[in-house]
């Protein structure tokens, strides 16, 4: 017997049991799971564009952009929203939230509202308040867990959380939080995409200003907790905002990275993207923080050895550059900066900024924080030394190469100037947290009228090899001071590229048939790579075990844990639902395969082969990660089109 039902557009998402009442009593007909329905025009998550539904609901591989505004790179992320058991884990997230524990009835009654569900999930994907999914770490020591750069996808993280008895998974940074949150939103039927904001501000005092203090060598002088990250990743979800009005429907910011608390909990959003563009930061939720991330003013100060502090400059266009997401239907980068703010320097952009500032001034929290003394209030005003300075890098160096660049200082006047330049190079994380100093020097020279002087910056591999962070970023800062006239600061970050990893499928990919994969790795360094580990995963591609073929016919078997479950839930969407009798489900799901591989000698190339058995048809992607003691988390991918076996 088949029964078709139609649910209300605002029905509560969750697990349902259907029973029939007859004269003989009650009889269970089946079970189903009701989700948000972006195909239903009456649903608050409705997406009218079919290509966008395909991208933001059905696509299982995402792109996350990283790097710097001038050096953008992408990472693939296996979302895995359709892998078995992920849906049940998503509902565990809701059921284990603080909201549900405090008042289960009220919590469940609000699960028809995507704004409410999104806010709960932004709190539960981090573990700061509620034993949620991920524990963050930016310390550089990840020995008690997994390096954040090693993750390739969400499914293994979510399963580890469940299989450990819901203990936080170690460790995450912003793109990992975003990837997992994007998976959960898509799994529940909410269109979602990962967003990267380059030169992303972290405004701790919510005054729409980022205050930065450096010493005479360009090193941080403390005095402020504000910062500008090279990039930050969050998620947008698509849904209506009846609490704000139709103008604010559409993309909403949700961020699971635990930066600041909101209503006492580490969560963020939903924040209307349109509200941010217009400066309407008073609207719920978390408008001042998101506005600052994309459009705060940047004020820089210098602190001299005697404690004297002076302002260097105010920059109104440093923050919020090249805001990026994956292009619909392709692997390109779509720039959506103008969704968040008007063109920099225009009257509309400044008007939105002033509107945001006005809204902040009216809040008691802002008035209380403004009453606190700030080092900026006692700093000497900025003086213009009438020189310019710029650092430029040469080429696109790979880890192992020397880095070469040029500092160009120009006299902008017709009078000669005595200039002192202090230059430093430091390894940094993507949050611009300085790790270790690599190099520094000082020099003085006279610039004649309108003279341009260039000085080289050369950093060899031996200088930086023991100091790199996981992000492979090096920052060079030059403080250029003119005698009695003030100073400028020139700064440039470079990201060292990883050597490529080449993946090739050897043969035709057929469902449930073995497929041999070849991986080629090259060591570009003049020293060996040890403690080498290769991991591979891909939705619909990897399961149970694979055979690894070392050079010289040495064979090994990759194995991993398998948590066998069965279930009888069928996924349906609001607006139209179908119930059918289901037996036990096979517990196939994407797994992360991991194996130690031989050490690589200097300048050595190695080819490794292993077998997988694809278990889903369609275009899939195999993601491979190689890490070692000196080169960490080199990533590659191969698109694999899996077909049904030919009829027998």
d(CA 429, CA 149): 12
Name the 3-class secondary structure at 113: coil
Measure Cα distances from 291 to 116, 192, 268, 426, 626 in Å: 21, 20, 12, 29, 38
349 annotated as belonging to a binding site for a ligand: yes
Cβ atoms 91, 14 nearer than 8 A: yes
295 annotated as belonging to a binding site for a ligand: yes
638 annotated as belonging to a binding site for a ligand: no
Neighbours of 365 (CB within 10 A): 11
Measure Cα distances from 494 to 124, 391, 399, 404, 476 in Å: 34, 11, 11, 10, 8
Give the DSSP H or E segment for 98.
helix 98-102
Q: What are phi and psi of 372, to 5 degrees?
A: -80, 140
Name the 3-class secondary structure at 644: coil
Determine if residue 397 is left, alpha or beta; phi over 0 gives left, psi from -120 to 50 gives alpha, anything else beta. Answer: beta
Cβ atoms 217, 422 nearer than 8 A: yes
d(CA 120, CA 450): 59
570 annotated as belonging to a binding site for a ligand: no
- From first CA to last CA, the distance across the chain in angstroms is 32
187 is annotated as an active-site residue: no
Q: What is the DSSP letter of 577?
A: E
335 is annotated as an active-site residue: no
174 is annotated as an active-site residue: yes
Name the 3-class secondary structure at 28: strand
Long-range pairs, 563-567, Cβ under 8 A, ≥24: 563/159, 563/162, 563/163, 563/587, 565/85, 567/85, 567/88
Q: Which of 107, 130, 205, 255 is catalytic?
A: 255
d(CA 363, CA 2): 57
Give Cβ neighbours of residue 511 (< 8 Å, ≥ 6 apart). Answer: 614, 615, 616, 617, 642, 643, 644, 645
| Extended beta strands in 379-451, E state | 387-393, 403-411, 417-428, 434-447
d(CA 533, CA 520): 14
Catalytic residues: 174, 232, 255
Residue stretches of the annotated binding site for Ca(2+) = 295, 297, 344, 349
């Amino acid at each position: 017997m088949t029964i078709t039902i139609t649910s209300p557009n605002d029905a509560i998402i969750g697990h349902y049991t259907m029973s029939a009442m007859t004269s003989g009593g009650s009889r269970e007909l089946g079970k189903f799971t009701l989700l948000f329905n972006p195909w239903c025009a009456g649903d608050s998550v409705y997406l009218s564009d079919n290509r966008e539904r395909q991208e933001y609901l059905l696509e299982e591989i995402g792109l996350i952009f990283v790097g710097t505004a001038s050096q953008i790179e992408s990472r693939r992320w296996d979302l895995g929203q359709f892998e078995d058991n992920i849906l049940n884990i998503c509902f565990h997230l809701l059921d284990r939230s603080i909201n549900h524990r405090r008042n289960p009835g009220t919590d469940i009654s609000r699960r028809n509202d995507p704004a409410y569900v999104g806010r709960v999930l932004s709190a539960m994907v981090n573990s700061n308040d509620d034993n949620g999914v991920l524990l963050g770490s930016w310390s550089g020591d990840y020995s008690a867990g997994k390096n954040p750069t090693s993750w390739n996808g969400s499914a293994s993280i979510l399963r580890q959380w469940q299989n450990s008895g819901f203990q936080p998974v170690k460790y995450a940074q912003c793109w990992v939080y975003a990837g997992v949150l994007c998976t959960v939103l898509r799994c529940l039927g909410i269109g979602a995409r990962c967003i990267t904001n380059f030169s992303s501000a972290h405004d701790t005092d919510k005054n729409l200003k980022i205050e930065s203090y450096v010493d005479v060598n360009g090193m941080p002088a403390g005095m402020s907790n504000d910062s500008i990250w090279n990039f930050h990743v969050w998620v947008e979800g698509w849904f209506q905002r009846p609490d704000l009005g139709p103008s604010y429907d559409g993309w909403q910011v949700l961020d699971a990275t635990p930066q600041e608390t909101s209503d006492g909990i580490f969560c963020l959003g939903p924040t209307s993207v349109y509200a941010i563009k217009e400066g309407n930061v008073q609207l719920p939720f978390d408008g001042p923080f998101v506005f600052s991330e994309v459009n705060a003013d940047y004020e820089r100060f210098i602190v001299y050895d005697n404690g004297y502090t002076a302002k260097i400059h105010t920059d109104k266009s440093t923050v919020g550059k090249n805001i990026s997401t994956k292009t619909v239907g392709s692997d390109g980068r779509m720039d959506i900066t103008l969704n968040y703010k008007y063109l920099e320097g225009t009257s509309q952009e400044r008007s939105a900024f002033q509107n945001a500032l006005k809204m902040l001034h009216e809040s008691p929290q802002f008035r209380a924080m403004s009453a606190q003394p700030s080092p900026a209030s006692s700093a000497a005003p900025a003086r213009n030394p009438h020189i310019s300075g710029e650092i430029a890098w040469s080429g696109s160096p790979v880890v192992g190469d020397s880095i070469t660049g040029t500092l160009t200082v120009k006299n902008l006047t017709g009078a000669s100037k005595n200039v002192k330049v202090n230059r430093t190079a430091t390894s940094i994380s993507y949050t611009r947290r300085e790790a270790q100093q690599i190099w520094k020097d000082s020099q003085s020279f006279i610039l004649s009228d309108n003279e341009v002087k260039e000085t080289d910056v050369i950093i060899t591999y031996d200088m930086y090899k023991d100091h790199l962070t996981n992000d492979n970023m090096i920052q060079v800062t030059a403080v250029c001071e003119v005698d009695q006239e003030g100073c400028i600061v020139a700064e440039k970050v470079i990201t060292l590229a990883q050597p490529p990893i080449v993946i090739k499928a050897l043969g035709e990919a057929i469902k449930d048939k073995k497929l041999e994969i070849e991986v080629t790795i090259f060591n570009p360094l003049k020293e060996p790579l040890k403690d080498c580990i290769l991991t591979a995963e891909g939705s619909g591609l990897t399961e149970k075990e694979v055979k690894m073929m070392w050079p010289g016919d040495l064979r090994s078997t990759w194995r991993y844990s398998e948590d066998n479950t069965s279930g009888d839930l069928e996924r349906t969407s609001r607006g139209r639902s179908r119930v059918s009798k289901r037996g036990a489900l096979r517990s196939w799901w994407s797994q992360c395969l991991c194996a130690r591989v031989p050490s690589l000698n200097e300048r050595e190339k190695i080819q490794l082969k292993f077998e997988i058995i694809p278990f889903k048809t369609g275009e899939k992607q195999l993601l491979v990660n190689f890490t070692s003691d000196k080169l960490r988390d080199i990533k590659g991918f191969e698109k694999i089109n899996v077909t049904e076996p030919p009829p027998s």
